[in-house]
Amino acid sequence: MEILGATLRVCVDDLETAIPFYERLAGGRAQRFERGGVQVAAIGCFLLMSGPPAELELLRKVAATIAVKDVDETHRVLTELGAHIIAGPIASPAGRNLIALHPDGSVYEYVDRRP
């Protein structure tokens, strides 16, 4: 399993106000999409999310998004290591993803760039 990088997940009350700050901080433009009623902006290593409180409560439980070369291989390795796959693999706007509960109780999203 090859880890390519990580994205910091940031839940914000007002996405429109937060985007200019993070664009200047990261030196890039926001890539925006919506998923399940949550507005998302990807800027550099930051993933900003804004939406209904109940949705954000769930999203806050995921510590980070980890980019991997292949979600299927990641699924196999995580399972062999004793992680519990909570969701996925499924298609997402950024590629395929899964959410895993590590044996220590941490929750992470893993995503690849495959269609």
Across the chain, mean pLDDT equals 92
88, pLDDT greater than 90 = no
8, pLDDT greater than 70 = yes
* Range 22-42 average pLDDT: 92
pTM given for the model:
0.81
114, pLDDT greater than 80 = no
pLDDT band at 93 (very low <50, low <70, confident <90, very high): confident
Contacts 24+ apart (CB under 8 A), 49-57: 49/9, 49/10, 49/11, 49/12, 49/15, 50/11, 50/12, 50/13, 50/14, 50/15, 50/18, 56/11
* Range 73-84 average pLDDT: 97
* 95 vs 25, more confident: 25
What is the per-residue pLDDT for 92? Answer: 77
